[in-house]
Homo-oligomer: A and B are copies of this chain.
Amino acid sequence: MKAVVYKEPFKVDVEEVEDARIQDPTDVVIRVTSTAICGSDLHMYEGRTVAEPGIIFGHENMGIIEEIGDGVASLNVGDRINLPFNVACGFCENCEAGYTGFCLTVNPNGAGGAYGYVGMGPYTGGQAEYLRVPFADFNALRLPGEEGDEFEDDFACLSDIFPTGYHGAAMADVGVGDTVAVYGAGPVGIMAAYSSFLRGAERVFMVDRVPNRLELAESIGCVPVNFDEVDPIEYIQEQTDGHGSDKGIDAVGYQATVSGGEEEQPAIVLNQLVETVRPTGRLGVVGLYLPEDPGAPTEEAAAGRLLFEIGRFFEKGLAMGTGQCNVKRYNRALRDMIVAGRANPSFVVSQDLPLEEAPDAYHRFDQREEGYSKVVLKPGS
């Protein structure tokens, strides 16, 4: 089968690889119909991780079941399913408690598995014609409708960005009547804002510096805040009668930059959020922070240690939740919102492309080329 294979920093190819196949009785194999490129794929693409050449990318996958193991109880050939980016067993202590992003079974390297990602276990990615799905009864989310219908790209968002954005809002405990500050208007930040509205937020401030990202945020009802133009802390304080926003979401992570966008300052967004939210506020952090970052500006940052405003954080009695999303906690509800027509996250998708165009798409996406904000690959097309 064909798949997107990592060759070296800044280079992927579409190559013939070994076919995906049933390995355990609880597996299924799907024919992939949609598989998106994620911002976190760029960490590997840019060589800022320890990923080795040969890895098949792709953790935002959906498709049609082609083959089924004889221990699978609830699925049939031909079923249309979406897969969370997390691979999870469903029966370990963490899975049972709903922490499927921290499954203790699937990854010998630590808590939590994923498809096609360095350090996340032995599961190849779905930027390919076929994909093996382990513990399929547990991991598959059933989808109504037909391959390629009007919801295809909405459903494609269920693997990662929609639930991940929602996770930010959930960890920040966004509820009816809340004001929310979201830092970072990439796909996850947009989904965090969108989810905040679904949960009843009164106002959402979106902080970024790229005009077309801010315009997209404004189009869903956010108050845009361009940090090249205003101090976001002051601006949001003013707009909230000097109190600060009730809640805050970090959708940027360690590759944060200061005004102008040139200089990386890994803790700047986190510390801005400490000042942006009001005393007793809560932060949901879905922007990535890593314990090892070879490309970091300082030695401490390279080890994942950042100068954090813990004094102010404590004085204000803040709380924060962090970490990758446990997709299964949210994906049924979000699917139902899509089917009912109350959510259509595919407005963030910038284009659908054949698998063959992946190398070009990676390049343009990595260059932050305008109009390449969220690419969905269509292996069958």
Contacts and interface: CB of A to CB of B under 8 A. Distances in A.
A71 B314 contact: no
A77 to B, nearest CB: 17
A336 interface: yes
A307 B309 contact: no
B307 A289 contact: no
A322 B308 CA distance: 14
B310 A306 contact: yes
Nearest to A317: B323
Interface string A312-333: 1111111111111000100011
Contact of A280 (B25, B97, B135, B314): B97
A255 interface: no
A176 interface: yes
B315 A323 contact: yes
A254 B308 CA distance: 13
Contacts of A135: 73
Nearest to A280: B99
A177 interface: yes
Contacts of A356: none
Contacts of A314: 285, 288-290, 322-323
Interface stretch (A49-57, A85-93, A124-132): A85-93
User: Range of interface residues on chain A?
Assistant: 35 or more
Interface in A162-210: 166, 171, 175-179, 195, 198-200, 202-203
A313 B322 contact: yes
A161 B28 CA distance: 38
A332 B177 contact: yes
Given A280-B97, A290-B311, A305-B308, A198 B176 contact: yes
B340 A203 contact: yes
Copies held by the complex: 4
A96 interface: yes
A74 B97 contact: no
Given A26-B26, A310-B304, A317 B102 contact: yes
Contacts of A105: 73-74
A352 interface: no
A303 interface: yes
B99 A317 contact: yes
A376 B158 CA distance: 46
A155 to B, nearest CB: 14
Contact of A317 (B138, B293, B310, B322): B322
Contacts of A291: 309, 311-312, 315
Contacts of A102: 279-280, 316-317
Given A322-B317, A323-B316, A70 B73 contact: no
Q: Which 6 A-B pairs have the closest CB atoms?
A: A304-B311, A177-B333, A71-B71, A317-B323, A25-B71, A291-B311
Interface of A: 24-26, 69-71, 73-74, 89-94, 96-99, 101-102, 105, 110-112, 135, 137-138, 166, 171, 175-179, 195, 198-200, 202-203, 254, 267, 270-271, 278-280, 285, 288-293, 300, 303-324, 328, 332-334, 336-337, 340, 342
19 contacts: A24-B71, A26-B73, A74-B91, A97-B280, A98-B98, A101-B317, A110-B279, A112-B317, A176-B334, A177-B334, A178-B333, A198-B200, A202-B340, A203-B340, A291-B315, A304-B312, A313-B322, A314-B323, A320-B320
